[in-house]
């Protein structure tokens, strides 16, 4: 199958303090088409060095977070982890794929931030989380099974410190990766995840046909009350 780039150029909707606004991502999304890579390691290598996501930039630029401790769940290429560590955060990058975890430690960026970045090679659903200021996860949480997700989500919420922030990607029902074995949520279900413990700051919707695949992704930004 031919190699393709995913570009997000469609308008995305997000919810801020109960009002609907428009947000447009004009830059290429920082990942290669899911079909192009035969293994997680090759997929993550294709993304390596592309820099942090626009979602993380939004969090760091506008949310007034003080530098602290962060988890990157399903760290993959490490682009989010390296950006956070370079800005003074103490980061734990959790990655289940052994090849990708080795690549994180071998990345030339690692030597510059090794004192601030720890790489754990294990599925994040098996990690024992500790109190934390920021949790980011790019396109990883949906790969939890529906039976695994409630426990993991509960642990994430419980261990997020008061005032701490989450930036988490979810797949919608129309996403080409959707299946009964994954955690797939509608926009309303993503918003409802906040419950009484989180304040929803915004939910970005990225949707459209890119190459051969239809993407539908919701990115939740929420703060611990």
Q: What whole-number distance in Å separates Cα of residue 182 and Cα of residue 190?
A: 14
- What is the chain's mean pLDDT, rounded? 83
pLDDT digits (tens, 9 = 90+) for 11-48: 344 443 333 333 334 233 433 445 555 687 887 777 77
pLDDT at 212: 82
Owning domain of residue 145: 5-224
Q: What is the CATH number of the domain that holds 67?
A: 3.40.50.150
Percent of the chain with pLDDT over 90: 64
When pLDDT is cut at 50, 70 and 90, the band that residue 179 belongs to is very high
Helix H segments across the chain? Answer: 40-47, 54-62, 79-86, 98-106, 110-113, 149-159, 187-192
pTM of the predicted protein model: 0.83
Q: What whole-number distance in Å separates Cα of residue 108 and Cα of residue 24?
A: 32
pLDDT at 8: 34
Pick the range with the lowest mean pLDDT from 2-6, 89-93, 153-157, 159-163.
2-6
When pLDDT is cut at 50, 70 and 90, the band that residue 194 belongs to is very high
Which residue do the tokens 């510059």 mark? 112
Pick the range with the lowest mean pLDDT from 27-41, 159-173, 181-195.
27-41
Total domain count for the chain?
1
H/E element, 19: strand 19-24
What are the CA-CA distances from residue 81 to residues 78, 200, 223 (Å)? 5, 23, 20
When pLDDT is cut at 50, 70 and 90, the band that residue 182 belongs to is very high
- Residue 196 or 29, more confident: 196
């Amino acid at each position: 199958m031919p190699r393709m780039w995913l570009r997000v150029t469609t308008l995305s909707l997000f919810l801020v303090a109960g009002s609907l606004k428009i947000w447009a991502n004009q830059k290429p999304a920082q990942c290669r088409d899911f079909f192009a890579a035969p293994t997680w390691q090759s997929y993550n290598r294709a993304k390596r060095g592309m820099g942090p996501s626009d979602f993380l930039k939004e969090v760091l630029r506008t949310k007034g977070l003080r530098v602290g401790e962060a988890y990157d769940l399903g760290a993959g290429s490490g682009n989010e982890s390296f950006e956070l560590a370079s800005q003074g955060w103490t980061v734990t990058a959790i990655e289940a794929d052994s090849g990708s975890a080795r690549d994180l430690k071998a990345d030339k960026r690692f030597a510059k931030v090794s004192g601030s970045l720890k790489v754990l090679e294990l599925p994040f659903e098996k990690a024992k989380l500790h109190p934390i200021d920021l949790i980011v996860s790019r396109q990883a949480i949906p790969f939890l099974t529906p039976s695994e997700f409630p426990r993991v989500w509960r642990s994430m919420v419980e261990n997020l410190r008061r005032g701490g922030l989450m930036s988490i990607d979810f797949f919608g029902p129309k996403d080409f990766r959707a299946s009964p074995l994954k955690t797939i949520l509608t926009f309303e279900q993503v918003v409802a995840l906040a419950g009484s413990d989180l304040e929803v700051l915004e939910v970005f919707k990225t949707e459209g046909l890119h190459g051969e695949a239809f993407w539908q992704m919701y990115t939740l930004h929420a703060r611990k009350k």
